[in-house]
Amino acid sequence: MERRPQDCWGNGYNPMLLRAWNANMDIQFILNPYSCIMYMLSYISKAEHEMSDYLKRVIKDSSHDNLSDRECMKQVMNAYSKNREVSAQEAVARTCSLKLKSSSRSVIFIPTDDNAVKMSLPMKYLQTMDDDVENVWMTGLPDKYKARPNRPEFENMCMAEFASEYRIVYGGQKKGKNVLPLQKNMGHIQKRTRGKPAVIRFARFSQQKNPEKFYGTLLKLYLPYRRDEQLKSTRFPTYESFYAFASVKLPGTDVLQRVFNIVNENREKYEKHNEAIEKAIEDFEQNGPIEDAWTTLAPANELIRLESIMEREPTDPNEVNEQEDIPEYTASTSVSNTAMPHMEAAQLNHAQIRKMYQSLNQTQASIFYAVRDWCKRCVSGESPQPFLYFLNGGAGVGKSHVIKSIYAEASKILRRLPCMREHTDISQPTVLLTAFTGTAAFNISGKTLHCLLKLPRSLKPPYQGLGNSLDEMRADLSNAHILIIDEISMVSKQLFAYVNWRLQQIKGNQKPFGGLSVLCVGDFHQLPPLGRAKPLCVYEDHVLDFWKDNFQMVTLTQIMRQRDDLAYAELLNRLRVKQKHAKVTDADKCMLEAVIRSSPEECPIDALHIYATNKEVDNHNTEAISSRFSDIINIDAHDYRKDPRTGEMKRQSAPFKGDKRDLIDTLQIAIGARVMLTRNIDVEDGLVNGTFGQVAKITAQTQGGVPVVQLIGLHLDNVTAGQKHRNKAPDGDDSIVYIERSEEPLKKKEQFEGNFP
């Protein structure tokens, strides 16, 4: 179904049907019956509990974040304004008891309890009956089944088949075709339309908790009988023993048959995958409705979707060490004056801010005052063109210092905008602090680009819009005027284009980046984008480029961090810009050789080591932990594969062999060992990829007689990180941060891996 590019924001529709259907239309292209069933089930299984779950999360987060009563109430009111339980139309339909569904099959409930609820006869019949009459109850389906006609086809018929294949008829229907009378004047029955048996429903009991009711239900449903006494005997007085050990002779046969064989044969006709269904019902009763039930109903489709997201083109080994031709930027000391999610930076007092401003050098001050003047023009009622600046510079030149200074000053000035004065809630940020990695985002008290803008993991075209999240994102970023991106060297052209499109969609503005001003900070001589993507500064034909000819550059050259050792700092900057085949000068070589430690005694094994390959890293870590610790614990990954019979994810006895990007298959750990997080667990809380710490505690629980590690407690090097996870400490020790297992899909279909990151 070919469509035009300008139709990308509209659902599929039929122009002719649209004239007759005065409502929203979303037509899906379906190629086979299975796709049709899948599409319908995705709506049937969708739980309507958005607002309830959101309120629960709000209350839970509020208790962990120690918010004030005022802030808690603001979050609760925000939940009511942005979430729903059911639509207004559905609420009216339910209130008025209008018909909400219909089906081509009848559904009948079969009571199987020994003390099932019964309805009394109508009052007009009771008043005409003698006082000594005890049978004052209306007959139910079990009574009519036991009074079924005395004909050969009914002798070996179980109650499940009787209820499914025959219906009770009343009044004038008794004169219909193929109507049969029941015994004891209990009414009449008629066979249902061929090919349309009824769907049977019955009470389900746990085999472990209520075995007698469980086996009683099986016997009453699937064993032919005419009297209740035929379901037990003197030798086997319980339903369970009668089901397991008794044998019966069915009418018309001279052979004894085991009861459980008869029951199981009839049960197979009506209960498919009953064990899997019972487990799903038990999980539902214990854990409540799943947020995304379709993932459980069709795990194969969900895994295929996740796999397609993770698929990447194989990397050419010859290109691993390829060096990009980074252009030689010239220093520019002046800038032309022409041109959320709740993020909270570190709180600074006026004395700290004043000292921070005073420490800016001349080049840093040039871009600081350029941004400051732009903000003041906005507040004064002007409409200046958005600026697009690139702050360039090597390590130690104060790029992060400039970011914090600009953020503090711009946020203070932009709070005086007219739109901010009109709103009492000023929690939405005016300046967005972002970075590519979680470590860099935490260092500047910001968020990752993917988290802030809700970017998908796969950036392959076509562009994926925000969908139902658009209104929420527009509200959260309504006051945003400036976007700051740190680590710009790791941002690919594809990601940069996605940031542009996302901001255009959120702001409803087709100007570059939705009309926001953008300050990019980084060094293209540092880490490049992941995979085979080229840095933004490298021009490529036939690649969408929002960088070239758009950004004005300011280069910081003065070393600020290592002012006490300028010679060594300048050496590092010369190595930074050194080409692959260029030679190191003799003076630089002598300085580097002076700090080399060759003997193991001079370089202790517990010091941080850097290697060229992952294999060398793994070998060193194994050697280090084996030499220093004796009580080493090996934690195997909990890997799962889809069971093709039930569709459930079952744990494997041994972990899969994943590649270097997956979670580790077997983790060696010990109390006191140095560790590093390899995933972004909570960027706002500082639990990011690259966070160092020391193992302080290991918590395990016994499962199936085998101890399984549940939590790993760490003492982090960064004492400010992991504040939320300290409050969750099971032993009350606020100095320990507890890490749980993470689960990630593997590249191979229908497989998941879980281990500590």
63-110, pLDDT tens digit by residue?
666 677 777 787 777 766 666 666 677 778 878 888 777 777 888 999
Cis (ω within 30 of 0) for the bond into 462? yes
Residue 256 in domain: no
Residue 69 in domain: no
Residue 459 and residue 347 share a domain? yes
pLDDT at 641 over 80: no
Q: Between the ranges 343-352, 401-410, 572-581, where is the mean pLDDT highest?
A: 401-410
Rounded to an integer, the average pLDDT of 385-406 is 86
The model's confidence at residue 239, banded by pLDDT at 50, 70 and 90, is very high
Report CA dihedral (305, 534, 482, 331) to the nearest 10 degrees.
170
Rounded to an integer, the average pLDDT of 489-501 is 87
Residue 583 and residue 518 share a domain? no
The model's confidence at residue 415, banded by pLDDT at 50, 70 and 90, is confident
Residue 587 and residue 637 share a domain? no
Residue 153 CA to chain centroid, in angstroms? 54
Residue 226 in domain: no
- What does the block give as tokens for 195? 């090919």
The secondary element (H helix, E strand) that includes residue 247 is strand 247-248
Neighbours of 326 (CB within 10 A): 18
- pLDDT digits 0-9 by tens, 271-324: 887 777 777 777 777 666 555 554 555 555 555 655 565 555 444 444 444 445
Rounded to an integer, the average pLDDT of 449-468 is 80
Dihedral over Cα of 410, 413, 417, 421: its sign: positive
Residue 404 and residue 453 share a domain? yes
Show the 3-state SS of 684-744. CCCECCCCEEEEEEEEEEEECCEEEEEEEEEEECCCCCCHHHHCCCCCCCCCCEEECCEEE
Residue 540 and residue 687 share a domain? no
Structural domain range at position 124: 107-201
- pLDDT digits 0-9 by tens, 642-656: 776 666 676 666 666
The model's confidence at residue 338, banded by pLDDT at 50, 70 and 90, is very low
The pLDDT of residue 746 is 64
- What does the block give as tokens for 575? 């190595």
**In angstroms, rounded to a whole number, what is the distance separating the alpha carbons of residues 405 and 399?**
10
The model's confidence at residue 451, banded by pLDDT at 50, 70 and 90, is confident
The pLDDT of residue 84 is 60
Residue 449 CA to chain centroid, in angstroms? 17
Residue 718 in domain: yes
The pLDDT of residue 396 is 75
Residue 513 and residue 408 share a domain? yes
- What does the block give as tokens for 172? 């004038």
CA geometry: angle 175, 177, 179, nearest 5 deg: 70
**Among 49-58, 233-242, 485-494, whose mean pLDDT is lowest?**
49-58
Question: What is the percent of the chain with per-residue pLDDT over 70, rounded to a whole number?
Answer: 77
**Among 23-37, 471-485, 638-652, whose mean pLDDT is lowest?**
638-652
Question: pTM of the full predicted structure?
Answer: 0.51
The pLDDT of residue 419 is 66
**In angstroms, rounded to a whole number, what is the distance separating the alpha carbons of residues 248 and 256?**
5
**Among 8-12, 136-140, 244-248, 264-268, whose mean pLDDT is lowest?**
8-12
387: left (phi over 0), alpha (psi -120 to 50) or beta: beta
The model's confidence at residue 221, banded by pLDDT at 50, 70 and 90, is very high
Rounded to an integer, the average pLDDT of 615-620 is 82
Specify the higher pLDDT residue, 386 or 30: 386
In terms of DSSP H, where are the helices of 534-646? 566-577, 586-593, 614-628
pLDDT at 484 over 70: yes
The pLDDT of residue 328 is 47
Residue 250 in domain: no
Q: Which of 256, 329, 634 is nearest to 246 (CA)?
A: 256
Q: Which of 528, 339, 521 is nearest to 536 (CA)?
A: 528
pLDDT at 637 over 80: no
Residue type, 570: E
Residue 586 and residue 449 share a domain? no
Show the 3-state SS of 482-536. EEEEECHHHCCHHHHHHHHHHHHHHHCCCCHHHHCEEEEEECCCCCCCCCCCCCC
Residue 533 in domain: yes
Q: Which of 76, 71, 68, 88 is nearest to 51 (CA)?
A: 76
pLDDT at 121 over 50: yes
Backbone dihedral angles phi then psi of residue 373, each to the nearest 5 degrees: -65, -40
Residue-averaged pLDDT of the chain: 77
Residue 367 in domain: yes
Specify the higher pLDDT residue, 672 or 309: 672
Specify the higher pLDDT residue, 640 or 187: 187
User: How far is residue 686 from each of residues 57, 167, 288, 442, 726, measured CA to CA in Å?
Assistant: 21, 66, 32, 6, 12
pLDDT at 430 over 80: yes
Residue 31 in domain: no
**Among 33-37, 421-425, 704-708, 733-737, whose mean pLDDT is lowest?**
421-425
Residue with tokens 């793994």: 618
- pLDDT digits 0-9 by tens, 39-58: 777 777 666 666 667 777 77
Q: Rounded to 5, what percent of the chain is helix, strand, coil?
A: 40, 15, 45
Residues in the chain: 757
Judged by DSSP in three states, 553 sits in strand
Residue with tokens 């607002």: 51
Rounded to an integer, the average pLDDT of 570-576 is 73
**Among 214-223, 510-519, 636-645, whose mean pLDDT is lowest?**
636-645
Specify the higher pLDDT residue, 320 or 266: 266
Residue 657 and residue 576 share a domain? no
The pLDDT of residue 660 is 63
Specify the higher pLDDT residue, 421 or 38: 38
Residue 574 and residue 440 share a domain? no
pLDDT at 503 over 60: yes
Rounded to an integer, the average pLDDT of 653-675 is 73
Among the three residues 201, 216, 233, which one is the final residue of a domain in this structure?
A: 201
Number of domains observed in the structure of the chain = 4
Q: Domain holding 422: CATH number?
A: 3.40.50.300
The pLDDT of residue 216 is 93
Cβ atoms 297, 276 nearer than 8 A: no
Rounded to an integer, the average pLDDT of 324-341 is 43
Residue 475 and residue 578 share a domain? no
The pLDDT of residue 633 is 81
Cβ atoms 520, 391 nearer than 8 A: yes
Specify the higher pLDDT residue, 237 or 744: 237
Among the three residues 201, 223, 254, which one is the final residue of a domain in this structure?
A: 201
The pLDDT of residue 340 is 36
The model's confidence at residue 342, banded by pLDDT at 50, 70 and 90, is very low
Among the three residues 182, 201, 220, which one is the final residue of a domain in this structure?
A: 201
The pLDDT of residue 600 is 57
The model's confidence at residue 337, banded by pLDDT at 50, 70 and 90, is very low
**Bridge partners of residue 635, in order along the sequence:** 667
What is the end-to-end Cα distance of the chain in Å, rounded? 43
pLDDT at 551 over 50: yes
The pLDDT of residue 48 is 62
Residue 577 and residue 721 share a domain? no
Question: What is the percent of the chain with per-residue pLDDT over 90, rounded to a whole number?
Answer: 11
The pLDDT of residue 752 is 60
Residue 637 and residue 584 share a domain? no
pLDDT at 128 over 60: yes
